[in-house]
Amino acid sequence: MFAVHLNLLDVSTAPTGGAGAGAADVQGALWARAVPGDGLEHVRARSVPGGVGLVLYVRAPHREAAELRAYALLDRALAEGPARRYAVAAPP
């Protein structure tokens, strides 16, 4: 299992639902869209200034595969719903 660290930026101008709401939205979206092939084991999400800090724990044969799985899942999770207000700060 590999830990994949990501930072998301809030790209929306709409107000958020309060402290921690963004992290909860992103974490919920990740779990809602995760499939067994993603290898997602655990998610840590916390609100940080300007966005959300994430650590996705992904089961994979090597780090590159874990990162590819994490980014594919994140693309799906950020495509719709409340989490769409976020974008990956620095894609690979």
Q: What is the CATH number of the domain that holds 54?
A: 3.30.70
Q: Which domain holds residue 63?
A: 2-88
Least confident of 6-10, 17-21, 23-27, 45-49: 17-21
Dihedral sign (CA 50, 30, 79, 3): positive
Identity (one letter) of the amino acid at 3?
A
Q: Please count the structural domains in the chain.
A: 1
Residues 6+ apart with CB under 8 A from 25: 17, 81, 82, 83, 85
pLDDT of 22-72, one tens digit each? 899 999 999 999 999 999 999 999 999 989 999 999 999 999 999 999 999
Give backbone dihedrals phi and psi of 25, rounded to 5 degrees, phi first: -60, -45
Least confident of 7-11, 29-33, 80-84: 80-84
The DSSP element (H or E) to which 21 belongs, if any, is helix 21-33
- pTM of the predicted structure, to 2 decimals: 0.84
Residues 6+ apart with CB under 8 A from 50: 9, 10
